């Protein structure tokens, strides 16, 4: 369910937050300010939110975003979704056409692929958001947690079916350590049935949004991040070291319209460098370096009360090819280009303890389940 298209979406839909407006919203209603600004006008709605409105909007909304929001009376969201669709579709068609007529030229695809992915993300997210608007009419009671924990972590099991490798079972873990606007996130994955290990460290700075030391109106944020990943394939005779840099972001869609309250979009854009080291005489890591595009977008929904019991679920596309799911196997001009799709989520059943799960599909199938913990001071949650 982070990236460069987040700012473009905010500007295109007229939802870029001004400092004065953010302060006013926070003073008026700290938790649901944006969602409760006004509710969809059911007096001029064609249908009430629910299954019937969602079913009636699925096909029309795919071709004209905003149809679902319009059906339930949210004209503001309908207008903004239609604008974002037009912008996304124009970029997608332009970039996709150039990729096609140049035969995915290596000289151009590096700059055109992010544009095509960004345009596609605008289109698909707008469609999913519109169906959500029609089916729910907005859920202002479902919000992001009203705090950001200084410590959050998980430990669990990951199943990976990849016909190219022998591993199947992994022990995985991750932690997020936060101090003010800064975050350090170490993680690991070690195979239980093969000689395969991966360790990583990500460092990030949150320039906008809620943090342990900063109050925010909702779950929206923007971060600058860098990281280093090392993945060793012991039985296969090679290892990969990957430094990376990216921008991550989230936008709570209550800012777009009240019928979208309780949902969010999330994205990422960046680049990485894969440095391969082979167990072979004469091989050198500097001779085996490849660039990697990092791009990700997703649509998600919140669960719970934003306090003790809270969670979220997100459906996403990840262009990253060096993860366990790798890229989708396709034929034709798109062969080797597409990344993988997935769904992940978590839910805290108590103040501190919860569960998380994920499933991904690319050239491999991935599924995992973890126990989750967050440190929550009594004055929070």
Q: Name every residue whose Cβ is closer than 8 Å to that of residue 364 and which is 6 or more positions away in sequence.
A: 160, 161, 162, 163, 164, 324, 325, 326
Characterize 174-202 residue by residue with b for buried, 16 or more Cβ atoms within 10 angstroms of its Cβ, and e for exposed: bebebeebebebebbbbbeebebbbebeb
- Range scoring the smallest mean pLDDT among 126-130, 169-173, 191-195, 302-306: 302-306
Is the CB of residue 323 less than 8 Å from the CB of residue 361? no
Q: How far is CA 300 from the centre of its chain?
A: 8
345: tokens are 């989520």
Around 323, how many Cα atoms within 13 Å sit in the side-chain half-sphere?
24
72: tokens are 């339930």
pLDDT in tens, 86-112: 888 888 888 888 877 877 666 676 677
- Range scoring the smallest mean pLDDT among 93-102, 266-275, 276-285: 276-285
Residue 32: per-residue pLDDT = 42
pLDDT in tens, 155-182: 999 999 998 899 999 999 999 999 999 9
Is the CB of residue 113 less than 8 Å from the CB of residue 293? yes
Residue 208 CB burial class (10 angstroms; 0-12, 13-18, ≥19): middle
Is the CB of residue 331 less than 8 Å from the CB of residue 351? no
Helix (H) or strand (E) holding 115, with range, is: helix 106-136
Cα–Cα distance between 302 and 253 in angstroms, integer? Answer: 11
83: tokens are 């604008």
Cα–Cα distance between 40 and 56 in angstroms, integer? Answer: 18
151-374 homologous superfamily: monomeric porin ompg (2.40.160.40)
- Range scoring the smallest mean pLDDT among 159-173, 221-235, 280-294, 342-356: 280-294
Q: Where are the domains of the chain?
A: 41-136, 151-374
Model confidence band, residue 24 (pLDDT cutoffs 50, 70, 90): very low
Q: Name every residue whose Cβ is closer than 8 Å to that of residue 349 and which is 6 or more positions away in sequence.
A: 309, 355
Is the CB of residue 228 less than 8 Å from the CB of residue 200? yes
| R_g of the chain, CA atoms, integer Å | 21
């Amino acid at each position: 369910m982070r990236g460069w298209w987040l700012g473009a979406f905010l500007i295109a839909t007229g939802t870029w937050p001004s400092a004065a407006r953010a302060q006013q919203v926070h003073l008026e209603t700290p938790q649901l300010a944006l969602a409760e600004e006004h509710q969809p006008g059911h007096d001029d709605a064609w249908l009430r939110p629910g299954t019937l409105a969602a079913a009636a909007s699925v096909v029309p909304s795919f071709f004209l975003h905003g149809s679902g929001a319009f059906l339930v009376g949210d004209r503001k969201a309908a207008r903004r979704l239609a604008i974002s669709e037009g912008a996304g579709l124009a970029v997608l068609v332009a970039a996709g056409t150039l990729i096609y007529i140049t035969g995915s030229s290596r000289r151009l695809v590096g700059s055109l692929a992010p544009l095509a992915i960004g345009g596609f993300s605008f289109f698909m997210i707008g469609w999913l958001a519109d169906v959500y608007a029609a089916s729910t009419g907005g859920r202002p009671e479902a919000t992001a947690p009203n705090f950001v924990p200084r410590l959050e972590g998980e430990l669990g099991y990951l199943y990976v079916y990849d016909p190219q490798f022998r591993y199947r079972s992994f022990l995985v873990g991750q932690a997020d350590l936060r101090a003010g606007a800064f975050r350090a996130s170490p993680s690991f994955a070690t195979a239980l049935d093969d000689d395969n290990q991966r360790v990583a460290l990500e460092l990030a700075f949150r320039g906008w949004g809620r943090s342990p030391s900063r109050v925010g109106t909702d779950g929206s944020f923007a971060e600058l991040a860098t990281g280093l990943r090392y993945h060793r394939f012991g039985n296969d005779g090679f290892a990969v070291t990957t430094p990376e840099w990216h921008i991550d972001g989230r936008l709570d869609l209550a800012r777009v319209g009240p019928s979208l309250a309780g949902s969010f979009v999330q994205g990422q854009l960046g680049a990485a460098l894969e440095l391969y080291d082979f167990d072979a005489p004469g091989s050198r890591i500097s001779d085996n370096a490849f660039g990697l595009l990092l791009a990700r977008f997703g649509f998600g929904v919140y669960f719970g009360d934003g306090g003790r019991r809270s969670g979220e679920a997100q459906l996403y596309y990840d262009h990253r090819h060096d993860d366990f799911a790798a890229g989708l196997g396709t034929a034709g001009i798109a062969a080797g280009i597409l990344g993988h799709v997935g769904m992940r989520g978590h839910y805290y059943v108590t103040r501190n303890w919860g569960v998380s799960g994920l499933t991904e599909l690319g050239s491999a199938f991935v599924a995992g389940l973890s126990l989750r913990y967050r440190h929550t001071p009594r004055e929070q949650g």
